[in-house]
Amino acid sequence: MLPDDFAHGTMAAAWSPDGMRIVTFGCDGIGRLWDADTGELLGTFPTATSPMFARWSPSGSRFLIGCCPGVDVWDAATLQKVEAFPAEDPNTTGAWSPDGRAIAIGYASGDLRIYPAWQSLEELIAYAKAHCVLRELTPEERTRYGLRAM
């Protein structure tokens, strides 16, 4: 059994696909990643104070946190937020595609939007090169935006 995370008012929890980790979110605005076998706290990270749901990607490398004001994507290894999908609607929900390459976000208004889920920074850069970027970034621009030199 995990340590008493319920003292923090756990609002959402989800098992990783391999059953080795559990992510929880509490009213205190802290997300927690646990080792499911030992109950060891693997890390914490800041979240919104009103999490609605948690969903792991099929690969177990990322998870979604649904909360007002939107849906956030977190990297499970670094516990860093990697994407944010804002929403004004507190009744937003989200789900991964079976292959983990897309995220569907549904809104109480009835809208459903599907977004690509980049698997790596390199994949995002390749997509941008193919669809958006008109020129290569200079080394200075790459440094400014935290990108590796090419």
Instruction: State pLDDT tens for residues 54-76.
Output: 899 999 999 988 876 778 888 99
60, with CB counted inside 10 A (0-12, 13-18, 19+), is middle
In sequence order, which residues have a C-beta less than 8 Å from that of residue 77 and are 6 or more positions away? 61
pLDDT band at 134 (very low <50, low <70, confident <90, very high): low
> What rounded mean pLDDT belongs to the chain?
82
Cross-strand pairs, 113: 105
* Mean pLDDT, residues 83-103 taken together: 83
pLDDT of residue 68: 66
Asked if residue 108 lies in contact with residue 92, where contact means CB atoms within 8 angstroms, the answer is: yes
Q: Where are the domains of the chain?
A: 5-118, 120-150
* Mean pLDDT, residues 109-131 taken together: 79
Asked if residue 112 lies in contact with residue 85, where contact means CB atoms within 8 angstroms, the answer is: no
Q: Which residue has the tokens 């890390």?
A: 43
Angstrom CA distances, 31 to 24, 108, 134, stand at 6, 25, 39
On whether the pTM is more than 0.85, the answer is no
Count CB atoms within 10 A of the CB of residue 95.
16
pLDDT of residue 21: 97
Q: Specify the higher pLDDT residue, 91 or 24.
A: 24
Domain 5-118: which topology?
Methylamine Dehydrogenase; Chain H (2.130.10)
